[in-house]
Structure 1
Amino acid sequence: MKTLKTLDIDKVAAAIEADAGQTLPGLRESLKEARDGHGLAHTPEQIVARRRGRPAGTTQAITKEPVKLRLDADVLAALRASGDGWQTRINDMLRASLRLGGLV
């Protein structure tokens, strides 16, 4: 990590941008953060704490139940096209609809 502390940000950014053939927004800020040690995990404990998924010890208060639901093909395609988390968005839309109808 000593080499990062002496990093010449402008020199490295110029080399990266020359290789890319264009200026890259935010590059110098990202290099500065790397040099200053922001976002780096140094110890095995920090690396384990930063692993993918939910943080240890967090649980949902309400358990979700799997269901089979039939939807029109165009509706399902639009929801899936909206990206990851579409099932959660369906749940949120149904909850909002129930509130509007006074059922929840």
Structure 2
Amino acid sequence: MTENKLPSDDSAFDLGVPSLLEAYKQQCKLLIDELDDAWLEVRQSRKNVAKLVRMNASMSDELAALKREHEKVRWQLSDIYLKEGLEAAAKIGHFARRKPEPDSTGQT
């Protein structure tokens, strides 16, 4: 007769192999830990989103102010160009209004 060297099903529990209930409990503990980690990440993500929303609002306000300032500067520059153009036109007009001097033939 050959002797069976493998442990029987009953003796496996004596060697520290967990029962099905113990395995489920361990799996539940692992899932709870993962869930806790996930909720921690969710809370951190919510804080980050709130911070980004505040930053976006601040940047939007700053952008609107800069656009208003840009428009104001464009109008000022336009006024400067208009003034310079009118001054240049006046100078040209001044020269154009002068009576031509007669040439050597006496014609104007």
Would you tell me which structure has more helix in proportion to its own residues? 2
User: What TM-score results when the alignment is normalised by the length of structure 1?
Assistant: 0.19
When Rg is computed on C-alpha atoms for both structures, the one with the higher figure is 2
User: What TM-score results when the alignment is normalised by the length of structure 2?
Assistant: 0.18
